[in-house]
Amino acid sequence: MAGQLKEVRNRIKSVQSSQQITKAMKMVSAAKLRRAQDAILQMRPYAKKLQEVLSNIVSNSEGEVGANLAVVRPVEKVLLIVVTSDRGLCGAYNSNIIKLAKATINEKYAAQAAKGNVYIWSIGKKGYEHFAKNNFKVNETYKDIFLSLSFENVQACAQAAVKAFENKEFDAVEIIYSEFKNAATQKFVAEQFLPIPKVQKKQGATKSDFIFEPAKEQLIAELMPKILNTQLYKAVLDAHASEHGARMTAMDKASENANEILRTLRISYNRARQAAITTELTEIVSGAAALQG
């Protein structure tokens, strides 16, 4: 009986120690989430408007300078830029992104995958480790971006993808990431990066008439790379905020589960303790009765 009590006490101490860690991690993630959330909320309207401008310009620039990034070619080789986190303990966050990447390959690029023409650039270690382990063609160049997250580091990845598309190394480029909604909600999306998607014109809509200053060709050549850099940076900031939101939620759930386990263990401990006391009392009474007899 004493051994059973000691075992339950040890389990209670172990759960309490784990709960202290999960609470601390929740507080750290909450602090990081505030900064990451501020960054994406400030970036999102700017990036959205730039993307609208780019799509409108491309839609009205058939055959002109810069429109090569919007040319739709027969898709032979595909690049997926998959944004995961560097660390785990964030619930199903990473597994959902990886699952979406695989679903995108199976549903849209199965023929290319069968020929070995699907390539992955992983931003974040978790994605790289998974795809490397499962024999995908994965590039490790950008997996450590979150160690020093900056526009310049993300820009290097975007520029490399643009250059590869221009050189016809890839015919389609997509970004797989998590779009931040709030601390408890993320939307996992596969977003077309290249060729630049064009605005779907509504029936009867008039053609947009832009006045360009400086020259149209110069403006397009200057704007396109910058807007694409911003688009990828927004996706990375979205993923960064989503990661901390997912980790904060996961640690909160873990702390609640620890409370439930502690409640169950304490009930077990009290029952075992009461049984031990009852046994001792029975032995004392039996001994006293034997002496009297």
Q: Within its chain, how far is the Cα of 74 from the centroid?
A: 30
Q: Which residue has the tokens 């609470």?
A: 23
Which stretches of 84-215 are DSSP H helices?
A: 93-108, 110-114, 125-133, 151-166
Q: Is 122 exposed, middle or buried (0-12, 13-18, 19+ CB in 10 A)?
A: buried
The Cα–Cα gap between 278 and 272 comes to: 10
On whether the CB atoms of residues 149 and 236 are closer than 8 A, the answer is yes
| DSSP calls for 152-166 | HHHHHHHHHHHHHHH
Share of the chain above pLDDT 70, in %: 91
The Cα–Cα gap between 123 and 157 comes to: 9
123-146 pLDDT, tens digit per residue, is 999 999 999 999 999 999 999 999
| Listed range (57-61, 169-173, 239-243, 267-271) with the worst mean pLDDT | 57-61
CATH superfamily to which 40-247 belongs? ATP synthase, F1 complex, gamma subunit (3.40.1380.10)
On whether the CB atoms of residues 235 and 43 are closer than 8 A, the answer is no
Instruction: Reply yes or no on whether the pLDDT at 63 is more than 70.
Output: no
97-122 pLDDT, tens digit per residue, is 999 999 999 999 999 999 999 999 99
Arithmetic mean of pLDDT over the chain: 88
Instruction: Reply yes or no on whether the pLDDT at 272 is more than 90.
Output: no
Report phi then psi at 69, rounded to 5. -80, -10
The pLDDT of residue 226 is: 87
The Cα–Cα gap between 273 and 293 comes to: 30
| Single-letter amino acid code for the residue at 267 | I
On whether the CB atoms of residues 225 and 159 are closer than 8 A, the answer is yes
The domain ranges of the chain are 40-247
Residues acting as catalytic residues: 90
227-263 pLDDT, tens digit per residue, is 899 999 999 999 999 999 999 999 999 999 999 999 9
The Cα–Cα gap between 65 and 220 comes to: 7
Q: Within its chain, how far is the Cα of 273 from the centroid?
A: 47
The pLDDT of residue 214 is: 74
What is the arithmetic mean of pLDDT over 288-292? 79
Q: Which residue has the tokens 């032995």?
A: 283
